[in-house]
Amino acid sequence: MASLYLMTSPVRLLLKLIFAPSIRRLVLIFALIASAPVAKADSGDFPSAVPNLAEDLTKLLSVDHRILAAKSALNAARSGNKQAFSVFLPTISLSSDAGREVIDSPSTRTSGLDEQRETREKATLTVTQNLFSGGANVASYESSSKQVDLAVLGLDTAESSVLLEGLIAYFSLVRDKKLLDLALRAEALTKKQLNLENEKVEKGKGIALDILQAKSRLQLATQRRIQFKGQLAVATTQFTYLFRFRPVLVAGSGTKFELPKIPPSLEDALKITLENSAALAAAQTTVDVTKIGIGSAESGFWPKLDLEATVNYERDAGGVEGIRRDWSVLLKASWTLFDGLGTYYGAKSARSNYAASISQFDAAKRQVKTELISSFQRFQIAEQNKALMENGLRIAEEIVSAQERMEKAGKETVINTLDAQSQLIDAKINYTSAFYDHLLGGLSVMSTMGVLTPENLGVAIQ
């Protein structure tokens, strides 16, 4: 109802404009003028340009929010790694104070003074170096290093995902544009056949059934054209919002793209997947992190040793007049003998997390294998279908060539030649669909194998 109201609101405004008094009429005129640029602005959110696959993918990899987020996460992990390394370095602290000090003590009263008043100054420099932490420092640093590895894998996964999405959007757009062009040609040929059938009937050389059959073929051709037009509209929208410009497809604007070689056997593909899959690498790194977490949790069972050097300067401090200087180098040890079983249960929890991560790694490995097997089977079927459609296209081309020669020799009619040409267009439509199904299926296999990277496709990264 709200959309209906918005659609009819200009009509209502015009009706009010006609019958309103002069003042209200001026207000309504200004309202109509003010609302006109808004609709115009909404239609021009994206610029228009001719797609260029390599340049567009390069730009996409540099501006996509998912990749930018992954890069920020990587920078944060690297900063965290540097922060974790700081525990191996000494800490230096300086404390100082100055001001009026009043002391009232038995010693001052014995000396005959009610209280002692002095202006004190004090400064203390302390340098502390941890010598042993039960493995907590090492575990913290190793864990932060693994977090960097996870962030790198997250960036690789984001780039592969965006790259696959960009390739699918581009080739879907090119495919649907080609299918629409072929459907328009098929519809035009079918209309021409219908006109010829009508002429035959008018001359008494045809029958009404031929006209009905031609109309039926035209109906199917129109339905197919509408379907491909809708697919192209959807593909255009997806491309526009991904690449942030409206594509303008001109004749011959398609980019030549060679699909990288895919292993011929599933066993070879599985071997490559186990070596390159970012999902498996991330799951394995998570196992390593949880294993390190066990050592971090168990560090609470051990004592901690620190080497501390202190230099102190005092002037008229603590009731002692004059300057005092002292320094010390101490080996300090602390050991928590009982913490309410917190360390015990923390270590137990860390071991459970480690066992859970191993199970998750096994599940991830099975999932990656399942996805690879499914995508590889679909790719093989698409490859066989492409070969069949290519063979059917060659046969249809030979039929059209023979039909045209027979028509020129007067041995065949124009209607039959048009019918052969329509079948040729159908073969081209089938081959075009099979070709891009094979291409997109291959890209899906590469993505699952973990080899769909900008480097393997020759795409530059800014």
d(CA 386, CA 273): 25
Of the two residues 369 and 39, the one the predictor is more confident about is 369
| Least confident piece of the model among 161-165, 173-177, 407-411 | 407-411
pLDDT above 90 (res 318): no
Per-residue pLDDT band for 35 (boundaries 50, 70, 90) equals very low
pLDDT in tens, 168-191: 999 999 999 999 999 999 898 888
Q: Is the pLDDT of residue 41 over 50?
A: no
Find where tokens 């003590």 sit. Answer: 105
Taking only the tens place, the pLDDT of each residue in 244-297 is 999 998 765 666 788 888 999 999 999 999 999 999 999 999 999 999 999 999
- Looking at residue 40, its pLDDT comes to 38
Are 119 and 308 a contacting pair, CB within 8 Å?
no
Q: Is residue 122 a part of any domain in this protein? A: no
The residue type at 394: R
Q: Is the pLDDT of residue 146 over 90?
A: yes
Q: Within a 10 A sphere around the Cβ of 241, how many other Cβ atoms?
A: 12
Q: For 87-97, what is the mean pLDDT?
A: 94
Determine, yes or no, domain membership for 333.
Answer: no
**CB-based contact 114:104 (threshold 8 Å):** yes
DSSP β-bridge partners for residue 334:
304
- Quick check: 37 pLDDT over 50? no
Instruction: Judge whether residue 33 has pLDDT over 60.
Output: no
pLDDT band at 460 (very low <50, low <70, confident <90, very high): low
Phi, psi of 245 (to 5 degrees): -155, 155
Amino acid at 194: L
Residue 43: what pLDDT?
A: 38
Residue 43 phi, psi (nearest 5): -85, -10
Supply 261's token pair.
Answer: 């070689």
Q: State the Cα–Cα distance between residues 306 and 341, nearest whole angstrom.
A: 24
User: In the chain, what percentage of residues exceed pLDDT 90?
Assistant: 62
Rounded Cα distance, 338 and 272, in Å: 51
Is the residue at 296 inside a domain? Answer: yes
- Beta strand segments in 291-411, E: 304-317, 320-334
Cα–chain-centroid distance for residue 14? 48
Tell me the three state secondary structure of residue 409.
coil
* The pLDDT of residue 195: 75
Whether residue 195 is contained in a domain is answered as yes
Q: What per-residue confidence (pLDDT) applies to 198? A: 72
In angstroms, the Cα distances linking 382 to 260, 433, 437 are 16, 10, 6
CA distance 78 to 146: 10
Establish if 162 belongs to a structural domain: yes
Asked which of 98-102, 136-140, 316-320 is least confident by mean pLDDT, the reply is 316-320
CA contacts within 13 A on the Cβ side of 418? 18
Q: How many CB atoms lie within 10 A of CB 101?
A: 17
| pLDDT for position 189 | 87
Integer angstrom CA distances of residue 397 from 386, 404, 435: 16, 11, 17
Residue 111: pLDDT band by 50, 70, 90 thresholds? low
* Predicted local confidence at residue 13, as pLDDT: 40
pLDDT in tens, 214-241: 788 888 889 999 999 999 999 999 999 9
- pLDDT tens digits, 6-25: 344 444 443 443 344 443 44
pLDDT attached to residue 205: 65
CB-facing half-sphere around the CA of 253: CA atoms within 13 A: 17
Instruction: Identify the CA nearest to 183 among candidates 135, 146, 232.
Output: 232
197-211, 215-229, 253-267, 390-404: least confidently modelled range: 197-211
Judged against a pLDDT cut of 90, whether residue 395 lies above it is answered with yes
Question: Is the residue at 384 inside a domain?
Answer: yes
pLDDT for 21: 46
* 48 lies in some domain: no
Cα–Cα dist 406/247, whole Å: 43
In a domain, 185, yes or no: yes
Extract the tokens encoding 382.
């698409």
Q: What's the whole-number average pLDDT of the chain?
A: 84
- CATH number (domain holding residue 271): 1.20.1600.10
Whole-model pTM? 0.79
Confidence of residue 404 (pLDDT cuts 50, 70, 90): confident
Structural domains of the chain, count: 1
Could you tell me the residue range of the domain that residue 247 belongs to?
Answer: 53-88+132-302+342-453
119 three-state secondary structure:
strand
